[in-house]
Amino acid sequence: MTGENGQISIWYFIGCLLTIYGVLITGSGIYELFSPPARPVVLAEFHAAIWWGLLMLGGGLTYIYFFRPSKDNK
Amino acid sequence: MNPFALMLAAAPERLIVLSPIDLAIIAIYFVAVLMIGFYLKERASTGEDFFLAGREMTAWVAGLAFLSANLGSLELMGWAAASYQYGILATHWYWIGAIPAMLFLGVVMMPFYYISKTHSVPGYLQLRFGEGARGLSAVTFAFMTVLMSGINMYSMALVMKVVLGWDINFSIWVSSITVAVYVALGGLRSAIFNEVLQFVLIWLGAMLIPILGLIEAGGWTNLQAKIASNWAGQDFTSLWSTLGTFEGNPMGIHWTGIVLGLGWVISFGYWTTDFLVVQRVLAAKDLRAAKMAPIIGAWFKMLVPFIVILPGLLGLGLLDIKLTGEAEAIATGGHSYNEVLPLMMARYLGPGLLGLGITALIAGFMSGMAGNVSAFATVWTYDIYRAFMKKDASDSHYVSMGRWCTIVGVLVSIGTAYLVMQFLSIMDYVQALFSFFIAPLFGTVLLGMLWKRATPAGGFWGLLAGTVSSIAMWAWVKADPSVLSIIALSPNAKDMAENMYRALWSWTVCVLVTVVVSYMTKPKPIEELRGLVYGATDIPSEHGVPLMSKPAFWAWVVGAVFVVLNVIFW
């Protein structure tokens, strides 16, 4: 499960999903920055979607980099 | 009546409305888990692959799957509700009710499970006590596992109905078919792979609520002050200091029930013998990984109250409304305890993050269900079908049986879900039934591993006597509620306290009967106990292994943190 035996690592899959989610959630947060909702959530001024999305994006890209399938495994 | 069904009746309208971005996040999750199942299909061709994931999991993967299989969505919703109702006392189910048992599994019991090369807990009982004990535990486990899976499925669909307004049939069929597809394709490897993914999503989806909640409250000390101010005369933030009497705490339980009933019998029974969780550890790549996996799981289990208990406490301190029991919520049109987590989600999570939070709930449900069906498929195929129906078939035949079992297990679960929908009281009975088997099974496995003198007859009759005594005590209290003061030591004991003490007594009966019958019957020769029992098994020495790589060292570290946390929140 860690990339041995020609198998793509589980962490690589997780990295891909986190990257996609990070882009979507950060994008959603940026959109809200310029177009605030009529009924904002509590602590909306913290813009949690932006920093949480960026955190997921950073984590996802890190996982993709470190657990990407090697040439030997292709 | 099922609390979630009452919640459905009480909820005036859906609690949360999802945006297109939220729906996209949920849809991407479903695509991802199915892709993993299809990708791993090629790697599930042998029995070892399908049922034990090729025994090649690292300690981290096995440890996270071990925990994830237990971390269902109802766990998130239910324990957040319990913490609103009972305060920080609910944390006992995560700390003393889990950590010592998980460490014990890793350090003491895992060597016997792993060295014996068993594929399941009933399989270990067969090696140690013979076919009788194996048959009894396999049949009860398989039966109860699919029933519990159906009940959880129904409850989850109700939650989705209340929280999102989704149709119950839609939730049941879409989520269960997804689980059936990825487990039937990739077997245990696919279940574990997805459980690790689901573990990450559960944390990412649930963690923002306590973080933002603590920011709003102004930190833990201020939250305690707000709770004390909102709920004068009640102590919701002390872990142990209110447990000196049954009347002194909202749970109606004494510390002896928590320590002996929960911390000893129920916790050790579940975490060390329930094959649903133990199966993940058996898939570890070597003995050291198998020992480390429960210790890694224990570390994260210790942190789970942060995402489960704290939201309930934040609800006590920060919500403008007071949540009530279900009956009162129906009568007044208000909100019930069970809605505390969705209410906190709606409070803090905007578009995108809300989708992630709901994905965490769905991921929790699916990881729990995948755990149930993969464990069911293994026990049915190896411990019932191969043991009692078709002994000499080929490996590929058993793999094929495992795949069909997965699908049949899911269909039976769906059938149970619809049955429960018609007859809600079934849920209470099945949950009680499940508790009947766990405590005695722990007595049987513990004596089997640690006492060479335990005989096959002792193991079988002890397990049977413990189970029957548990059922008898439950039925006795149902027939005559005044007996509660005998079983649970107090007429004021609540349901949870009764469960604790019933488990303790049934475990005691199992141990006593096993010991007495063992002394009356002939023990197995020592040669037949090799690899199965303490004192007859050569456990590989860890001499020369660096300290940081020793499971025992990390068990001590986790144990020390566990003690410190209990003292801090005393």
Q: Kindly report, residue by residue over B144-170, the tens digit of the pLDDT.
A: 888 888 887 887 787 787 778 888 888
Mean pLDDT in chain B?
A: 86
- The residue of chain B with its CA nearest to that of A1 is B57
**pLDDT beyond 90 at B535:** no
Give residue limits of the domains in chain A: 4-73
Residue B34 sits at the chain A interface (C-beta within 8 Å): no
Hey, are the CB atoms on A25 and B353 less than 8 Å from each other?
yes
Chain A residues in contact with B28 (beta carbon < 8 A): 17, 20-21
Q: Which two tokens mark B492?
A: 């004021």
Q: Look up residue B102 and give its amino acid.
A: M
Residue B193 sits at the chain A interface (C-beta within 8 Å): yes
Q: Which neighbouring-strand residues pair with B57?
A: B284
**pLDDT beyond 90 at B47:** no
Chain A residues in contact with B212 (beta carbon < 8 A): 42-43, 46, 48
**pLDDT beyond 60 at B471:** yes
Distance (Å) from the C-alpha of residue A70 to the closest C-alpha of chain B?
A: 17
Higher per-residue pLDDT: A58 or B491: A58
| Chain A / chain B CB contacts < 8 angstroms | 92
Mean pLDDT, rounded, for B286-293 = 92
Place B425 in a pLDDT band, splitting at 50, 70 and 90: low
**pLDDT beyond 50 at A64:** yes
Chain B residues in contact with A17 (beta carbon < 8 A): 28-29, 32, 197, 201
The candidate with the shortest Cα–Cα distance to B162, out of B341, B320, B307, is: B341
Q: Quick check: B403 and B397 in contact, CB under 8 A?
A: no
**pLDDT on residue B163:** 76
**pLDDT beyond 70 at B433:** no
**pLDDT beyond 60 at B2:** no
- CATH 1.10.238.10 for domain B3-425: no
Q: Quick check: B107 and B276 in contact, CB under 8 A?
A: no
Percent of chain B, pLDDT > 70?
Answer: 94
In the 8-state DSSP scheme, what is residue B46? S
**pLDDT on residue A40:** 86
Quick: pLDDT tens for B303-347: 999 999 999 999 999 988 888 877 777 778 778 887 888 889 888
Contacts of B31 (CB under 8 A, 6+ apart): none
**pLDDT on residue B238:** 87
Mean pLDDT, rounded, for A2-17 = 78
**pLDDT beyond 60 at B6:** no
Q: Which neighbouring-strand residues pair with B336?
A: B324
Chain B residues in contact with A5 (beta carbon < 8 A): 56
Contacts of B48 (CB under 8 A, 6+ apart): B54, B55
Query: What residues in chain A have their Cβ under 8 A from chain B's Cβ atoms?
Result: 1-2, 4-5, 7-8, 10, 13-14, 16-18, 20-21, 24-25, 27-29, 32, 37, 40-44, 46, 48-49, 52-53, 56
For tokens 């102004």, the residue is B218
Higher per-residue pLDDT: A60 or B538: A60
3-state secondary structure chain A: CCCHHHCCCHHHHHHHHHHHHHHHHHHHHHHHHHCCCCCCCCCHHHCHHHHHHHHHHHHHHHHHHHHCCCHHHC
ipTM: 0.91
Mean pLDDT in chain A?
A: 86
Distance (Å) from the C-alpha of residue A44 to the closest C-alpha of chain B?
A: 8
Distance (Å) from the C-alpha of residue A31 to the closest C-alpha of chain B?
A: 10
**pLDDT beyond 90 at B251:** no
Place B4 in a pLDDT band, splitting at 50, 70 and 90: low
**pLDDT on residue B1:** 47
User: Diameter of chain A by CA atoms?
Assistant: 53
